[in-house]
Each structure stands twice: as C-alpha cells, then as structure tokens.
C-alpha cells in the first residue's frame, strides 16, 4: 500500500512512527502540499492520502485527478473539512482516529462545565482586578443531582457520562443514530447543562439556534467542544445578552479565531478556550499510535 502524507514533511513525523509504518510493509512518502497542483503531482500513485490538521490543497478537483486513491485518512476526529461528497461519489473511503483524542476532549468538556458552574474563571478575573467577592454570584449553579444533556452520544459523550458519574448527575442524550435517544427538544427543556458532542454535518450546522435556546432553562449552561458552526453564534450571543440561558463554555467558535470585537469575549458568563480540548500530556503518544494502527488496518483491506 502506498501512502502519501500530505500535511507534513518527513521531519514533521516522529522517526519511530515512520519506522513502524515501514516495518508493516507500507510505503510512505511525506510532503506538506500547499496547492492542488503540488498535491496531485506528489500523490499521483498513492492508495491512501494521510493528513492531520487543515489542508487547503485537498479539494474535490484534486480527488478527481487522483484515480489511484482509494482512501482518505485524517488522524484525529473531525472530517468536516474534507471533500466528503466528492470522495463518496468516487468511491473513496474516509477514515479517522477519534479514539486518539476522545478521552482528552471529554476531560476538557467536563473541566469547562465545572469551571463555569463554580465561577472559577470569573472569580480569577475578579481577583486579578483587585476585587474579591465583589459582584460575583456564587449561587447560580450546582452540579450534584442536576441533569446533563449530551447532544451526540459517541465516544466523547460516553466518556463525559462516566466522568460525571461521581456527581450523581442524571445524564440524558440525543443522538438520532442511538436507540432510546431523548428527542432534542425534550433534552433541551430538561437539562441544567447541555454539552455538544456531534460532528459538523449539513444536518448539524446551526443545530442549536434561537428556537433551541428558548427551550432551555433560563439558568442553563451550554458547553461546546464539537465544532463552532453547530451553534448559531448570533443566536447564542442574543440568548446570553437577554438572559435566555445562564452561560456558555466554548472550546470552538465560528469563525476561529473569533474576531477581537466578538461580544462573547466581553461577557463574564462565558469561557472561551482556543480549540485545545484534544491536547494533553498523552496527546502525541495516542495520536501517532492510533495513526499507525489505522494505517496497518487499511493495508489489510486495500489491495
């Protein structure tokens, strides 16, 4: 199997990772392709295109010019930036490694939830401004015994559910692909905290908008570690300004990074982190190990 890594040169991949791939009998070449023309020339004979992070060179037009390509593999979770429709049209399979980051993203989601519920960031801001208790509302939220609604019920959401078990929270979930799922409208109305874990697809773009915010409890917290466009950001800003929900903790925005004058950045009941949920002390180890395992698996199925 010939594999073309298209988002990094060879010195951007750990030597032990490259060795493990080659020892498995997989032929691999690496180049950070910046244009469609460069990608097509570099990967002309590749069975698999491997990538991580963004790559503007991988366009629908590029795929049409790569007749030998049988699979796209993106290390990590989201595949929304890939030319999925064209890949499906051409019979090219799409793969990722969500297991490599699931636990870390879940930890970050829970951290954001706890930080928001216990005004950790707001309190820190206060102290740094030379204040102490002034203006802080310590009585808005409590976790134990409350209801957490998970939108999407894949690996990450299930990790979140296990992590909050010690707080005796009632956990409900909405996922159209999971039996016995709670309808979204019912979940939003019942939940004290709502955490988003669905992929970005045409169906989930602006899944949470004005109508959905109006269904939520007035003191509810929204946590988003999925993709920014899953939320209608204008509707979120209006919901926060008008007290329709109580707060938001976001690792993703739309666009990224947010504009400097984005109202979310001025709100005390909002936490924003820079799309870092996947990163932890174990990120590199898990990321490359799962990548090698996925390539080995593909080599068993691609002639």
Q: Does residue 134 sit in the same domain as residue 230?
A: yes
How many domains does the structure of the chain reveal?
Answer: 2
Q: Does residue 225 sit in the same domain as residue 146?
A: yes
pLDDT at 104: 97
Q: Does residue 84 sit in the same domain as residue 35?
A: yes
Could you list the residue range(s) of the whole structural domain that residue 137 is in? 102-272
User: Which domain CATH number covers 44?
Assistant: 3.40.50.720
Q: Which residues of the chain have pLDDT under 50?
A: none
Is residue 249 situated within a structural domain? yes
For the chain, give the mean pLDDT. 95
Is residue 200 situated within a structural domain? yes
pLDDT at 137: 75
Is residue 258 situated within a structural domain? yes
Q: Which of 197, 212, 227, 233 is catalytic?
A: 227
Say whether 205 is catalytic: no
CA 286/CA 280 separation, integer angstroms = 10
95-136 residue pLDDT tens: 999 999 999 999 999 999 999 999 999 999 889 989 888 777
Is residue 148 situated within a structural domain? yes
pLDDT at 207: 98
Q: Does residue 120 sit in the same domain as residue 70?
A: no
Q: Does residue 16 sit in the same domain as residue 152?
A: no
User: DSSP secondary structure string, 221-245?
Assistant: EEEE-S-GGGB-HHHHHHHHHTTSS
Q: What strands lie across the sheet with 71-74, from one edge to the other?
A: 27-30, 2-5, 48-51, 71-74, 93-96
Q: Does residue 17 sit in the same domain as residue 120?
A: no
Across 66-81, b (16+ Cβ under 10 Å) vs e yields beebbbbbbbbbbbbe
Q: Does residue 74 sit in the same domain as residue 119?
A: no
Q: Does residue 214 sit in the same domain as residue 106?
A: yes
Q: Does residue 143 sit in the same domain as residue 154?
A: yes
Say whether 275 is catalytic: yes
Q: Does residue 169 sit in the same domain as residue 80?
A: no
Q: Does residue 64 sit in the same domain as residue 182?
A: no
* Structure tokens belonging to residue 213: 């915010």
CA 89/CA 224 separation, integer angstroms = 32
Say whether 218 is catalytic: no
pLDDT at 138: 72
As a residue count, the chain comes to 303
CA 66/CA 244 separation, integer angstroms = 50
Q: Which of 23, 89, 256, 259 is catalytic?
A: 256
Q: Which of 158, 275, 289, 293 is catalytic?
A: 275
Is residue 92 situated within a structural domain? yes
Q: Does residue 51 sit in the same domain as residue 128?
A: no
pLDDT at 131: 87
Is residue 277 situated within a structural domain? no
pLDDT at 82: 94
pLDDT at 54: 78
pTM of the shown model: 0.91
Is residue 71 situated within a structural domain? yes
Is residue 38 situated within a structural domain? yes
């Amino acid at each position: 199997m010939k594999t073309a890594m298209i988002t990094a040169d060879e010195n951007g991949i750990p030597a032990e990772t490259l060795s493990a791939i080659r020892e498995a009998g997989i032929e691999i070449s690496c180049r950070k392709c910046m244009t469609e023309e460069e990608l097509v020339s570099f990967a002309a004979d590749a069975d698999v295109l491997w990538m991580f992070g963004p790559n503007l060179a991988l366009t629908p037009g590029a795929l049409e010019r790569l007749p030998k390509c049988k699979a796209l593999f993106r290390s990590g979770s989201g595949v929304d930036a890939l030319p999925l429709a064209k890949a499906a049209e051409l019979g090219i399979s799409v793969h990722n490694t969500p297991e490599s980051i699931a636990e870390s993203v879940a930890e970050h989601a829970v951290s954001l939830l706890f930080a928001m519920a216990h005004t950790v960031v707001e309190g820190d801001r206060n102290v740094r401004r030379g204040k102490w208790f002034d203006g802080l509302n310590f009585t808005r939220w409590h976790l134990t015994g409350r209801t957490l609604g998970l939108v999407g019920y894949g690996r990450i959401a299930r990790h979140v559910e296990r992590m909050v078990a010690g707080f005796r929270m009632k956990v409900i979930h909405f996922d159209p692909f999971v039996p016995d799922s709670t309808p979204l409208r019912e979940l939003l109305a019942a939940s004290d905290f709502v955490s988003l874990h669905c992929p970005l697809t045409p169906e989930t773009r602006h899944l949470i908008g004005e109508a959905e915010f109006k269904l939520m409890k007035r003191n509810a917290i929204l946590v988003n570690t999925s993709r920014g466009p899953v939320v209608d950001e204008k509707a979120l800003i209006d919901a926060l300004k008008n007290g329709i929900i109580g707060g938001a903790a976001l690792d993703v925005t739309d666009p990224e990074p947010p504009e400097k004058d984005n109202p979310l950045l001025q709100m005390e009941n909002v936490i924003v982190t820079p799309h870092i949920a996947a990163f932890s002390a174990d990120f590199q180890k898990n990321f490359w190990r799962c990548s090698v395992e996925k390539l080995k698996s593909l080599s068993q199925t691609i002639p």
